[in-house]
Amino acid sequence: MSDPAEQFLAAGERLQIEARIAEAEKRTSGEIVVMVVPSSYHYPLATMIGSSLLAVLFGIAGSLLAGKETMWFFLEIFALSFILLHELIKRTPFLKRFFVTASDMKEEVGEAAINSFYHKDINQTVDHTGILIYISLFERNVRVIADKGINAKVEKQVWQEVVDTIVRGIKSKGHGAAIAAAVDRCAEILAGHFPLKPDDRNELGNSIIFGKGR
C-alpha cells in the first residue's frame, strides 16, 4: 500500500523545500527540520466505535428486511458486519475521521510531534536552536516545536503564523509552496535572534523526513 506521506509532495516540491532549508541555514545558526507523517496515531477506539455502531444499524436493518426479528439472526448479521466494517474503517482514513474527536486528534498530534522532536535528535544541537515543522495528514494538523534555546527568545505564539501558512496551503492544494514559504518565515524569525556564526555547521540534515506516527 502506498504511503500517503510519501505521496504528499511531488519530487520537485521536495527539492524546492530542501533547497529553501539549505538557504535558510545560510542566514541563521538555527536548524530547521520538516517532517510529514500519514497519521500521528492509529485510533483503535475510533475504529471499534465506528464498526460497532454501523454493525448495529446493519443488524437491525437486515433483520427487518429479512423479516427475522430474532436476537440470533441479529447477532449473526452484527458479527459479520462488525468484522467487515472494522477492517474497512481501519484501512480508510476518510471513514475513520468520522469517529475521532477533534480534541483527541489535537492531543495525539501534539504528543507525536514532541516525541518526534526528541526521537530525531532535534534537541541535540549545540545551542539548542533546532526547530521541527511537523505535518500530520490524517488529522490535517501542523505543529511547530522549537528547542529551549529558541523558546528563550521567541514567543511560542509567533509560530502560529507558520502553522497558518501551511494549513492554508494544504487547503488550497498548494502545500509544497506553502511549506517552502513557512521555511522562509522560520529563517526570517530565527535570523533576527540567531545569526549565522563563523564556525557554524549543518548539524541536522536538510532532507524532508517522511515518518510514521505512534
- CATH number for 109: 3.10.310.50
Phi/psi of residue 208, nearest 5 degrees: -65, 135
pLDDT at residue 102 greater than cutoff 80 = yes
- Cβ contact 105:141 at 8 Å: yes
pLDDT tens track for 52-97: 999 999 999 988 888 887 888 889 999 999 999 999 999 999 999 9
- Whether the pLDDT of residue 197 is over 90: the answer is no
pLDDT of residue 62: 87
**What is the share, in percent, of the chain residues with pLDDT greater than 90?**
70
Per-residue pLDDT, 69: 77
Query: Are 105 and 95 in a shared domain?
Result: no
Residues 132 and 93 in one domain: no
- Domain end, chosen from 99, 128, 146, is at 99
Tell which of 99, 117, 144 closes a domain. Answer: 99
**Are residues 18 and 114 located together in one domain of the fold?**
yes
- Which residue do the cell numbers 501558512 mark? 165
On whether both 111 and 183 belong to a single domain, the answer is yes
Render pLDDT for 36-48 as a digit per residue (tens, 0 to 9).
Answer: 999 999 999 999 9
Give the model's pLDDT for residue 72: 86
pLDDT of 199 above 60 = yes
Print the domain residue range for 14.
4-41+101-210
| 146 and 84, same domain (yes or no) | no
CA of 22: how far to CAs of 79, 134, 151, in Å?
Answer: 55, 18, 22
pTM for the structure as a whole:
0.89
* Whether residue 214 has pLDDT greater than 90: no
